[in-house]
Amino acid sequence: MSLAEGVLQLIEDAARREGFQRVTTVWLEIGQLAGVEVEAMKFCFDAVTRDSMAAGAQLEIIATPGTGWCLPCGETVELAEVYGACPRCGGYQVQVTGGKEMRVKELEVA
CATH number for position 55: 3.30.2320.50
Give per-residue burial for 31-46: e unless 16+ CB within 10 Å, then b: bbbbeeeeeebbebbe
* Ranges under pLDDT 50 in the chain: none
The pTM assigned to this predicted structure is: 0.84
Domain membership of residue 28 (yes or no) is: yes
Question: What pLDDT is stored for residue 48 in this prediction?
Answer: 97
Domain hosting 105: range is: 2-64+98-109
- So what's the pLDDT on residue 110? 86
Dihedrals phi, psi of 106, to nearest 5 degrees: -160, 150
H-helix or E-strand containing 60? strand 58-64
